[in-house]
Structure 1
């Protein structure tokens, strides 16, 4: 029996959608239907019924899905064995957002090297949504991204929180320190690309406080630098505008006085970073990487201001 047919049924039974199964497997929808027809012929039974776009498993389909839940992880472990190099070295493909790269990612790499020498990390950085999609497409094995992420095919573990504060160059706010979101909206807002998590959260922040609905208080203008945290902080330190970033990642600039925190009463919710990985992947190997991540978070917390960075148990 073709293992790929069982894996396709596993995702179909889990996602309850031919379209989502096709996207997850990186195959076309007709191929999903073809595989399911072949699997049902081989088993001599009907595994599911369709009601419009809705998939409903039969009693037999539910039993087969339970078996697939055991078979698919074994197939994944076999793929993991194939990826191993000489000396039983496992290669784990890791995705990390910029905020992780600017804080505890180097410590994770060093901890992994010294405590789990049987694992080699292949690192990819990027924006959160791109890394989540890469994880779904099996292009990476684990992602450290801002959560929560709702996906029944993925598991997650919370690692840490980053406090987000509004910052500016001291000269920009001298004599006119903003204390509310209304005051803040009078300044140029330095922002990331529109597809980024950061952009969406800042936009939600202004909308939540109805700034865009008050005549004359729409943010002075958006300065879209097209980059992420460090670029936004750099532009702010040069007096281009104000920006909101994880404070722990720019502690050096704050100490040097190039940036100051703005006492805005309306706080931005903390960013919660999670370890995200596919269900049923090689549990032992993933657990080792998460262990190194928690150790790296703890080490970074030793020197970070607890008001700006908090590990999660």
Structure 2
């Protein structure tokens, strides 16, 4: 039995679409359909129901899926026994939010190129909401973002937390004493894109403090926020780790006012037979993040508590 055809069957079952499976496997829709037809003829059963909404497993298809995943897992264990399981190759599609790009993404890409030189990395930068949608559609293999993604076949691990600070340009008009949070919120606040987890958390925090109409400008680019803060356009609601050089050089300062709570970053990925590279990259990311934390200023980048 052709293992590639079994892998194709598993991906059609996961994604519910021949088109999305073709994109995932760098193939054509006609080739995917042909593989499934051959597999159905070989097994003597219909694996999928096809209609205008896509494809869904038949009763026989559900039965075959368990065996197919078991056979792919057995193949992986065989490769492990031969010392070939870590020879990963192919394309890995990673989705990242802007905060990750401006902190430890470069270190992860360097580690990937060293540990898995045959893997071609394709990066997509977007909001957490869009990244989650693309993962579920099979357009991405794993994503780094701010929300737990609850879906069949998807796993999540919290990698780190990013505390926030109120950051201003040193010597700018906004670099002045403030009587408290309400006084500070009379000025323009610059933070992450609207409806993002950090934006919503900042709004909720300010509302809890009795500030219902803060002057918030939402910007979907960390680089743009940092530039605007440096130019004195507003007060940045930022993780200080993203402006560590500016803080160390005193080009920016963190105001001594209690900040809004920070936000967590998770890695979310599809797990299962044939997806061992995803698991390997998750473990690599955890090592990279741990090393990054050791180089960050105390309290600027926080690892999750170890399970007790």
Structure 1 residue 6: Cα displacement: 8.0
Spell out, residue by residue over 1:117-148, the C-alpha distance to the aligned partner (whole angstroms, 9 max, x if none).
24232222221111111111111101111133
Indicate which of 278, 281, 287 corresponds to 1:286.
278
Distance 1:198 1:228, change over 3 A: farther
Q: Deviations over 1:150-199 (max 9, x none)?
A: 3344111121111111212233344423533x232211122343243433
Give structure 2 stretches of 5+ with no counterpart: 22-39, 47-57, 76-86
Q: How does the TM-score come out when normalised to structure 2? A: 0.70
C-alpha displacement at 1:262, in angstroms? 1.9
Partner in structure 2 of residue 168 of structure 1 = 168
Partner of 2:65: 68
Q: Is the 8 A contact 1:134 1:140 kept in 2?
A: yes
Question: Are the aligned partners of 2:174 and 2:235 in contact in 1 as well (CA < 8 Å)?
Answer: no
Cα distance in 2, alignment partners of residues 273 and 74 from structure 1: 34
Cα pair distance change 1:264/1:104, threshold 3 Å? same
RMSD between aligned residues? 3.8
Q: Which residue of 1 aligns with 2:232?
A: 239
- Hey, what does 1:158 align to over in structure 2? 158
Task: Name the residue aligned to 1:30.
Answer: none
Secondary structure of 1:269's partner? Answer: coil
Distance change (3 Å), C-alpha of 1:284 and 1:209: same
Note closer, same or farther for the CA distance 1:275–1:205 as it changes in structure 2 (3 Å cut).
Answer: same
Runs of 4+ in 1 over 4 A off after TM superposition: 2-11, 63-67, 72-78
CA 126–75 in structure 1, closer or farther in 2 if over 3 Å, else same:
farther
Question: Gaps (5+ residues) in structure 1?
Answer: 12-20, 27-38, 45-59, 79-86, 213-217
Q: 1:77 to 1:147 in 2, by over 3 A?
A: farther
Matched with 1:177 is: 178
- Deviation readout 1:237-264 (Å, 9 max, x if unpaired): 2211112111111101111222211222
- Check the 8 A contact 1:148/1:272 in 2, yes or no: no
Cα distance change on mapping 1:141 and 1:281 into 2, 3 Å:
farther
2:84 matched residue in structure 1: none
Q: What is the CA distance between 1:302 and its match in structure 2?
A: 2.5
2:217 is aligned with 1:223: yes
Q: After the TM superposition, which residues 1-313 of structure 1 pair with which residues of structure 2 at under 5 Å, given as runs?
A: 65=62, 68-71=65-68, 89-170=89-170, 171-180=172-181, 182-212=182-212, 218-219=213-214, 221-224=215-218, 226-265=219-258, 267-280=259-272, 282-312=274-304, 313=306
Q: Are the structure 2 counterparts of residues 137 and 305 from structure 1 closer, same or farther at C-alpha, using a change threshold of 3 Å?
A: same
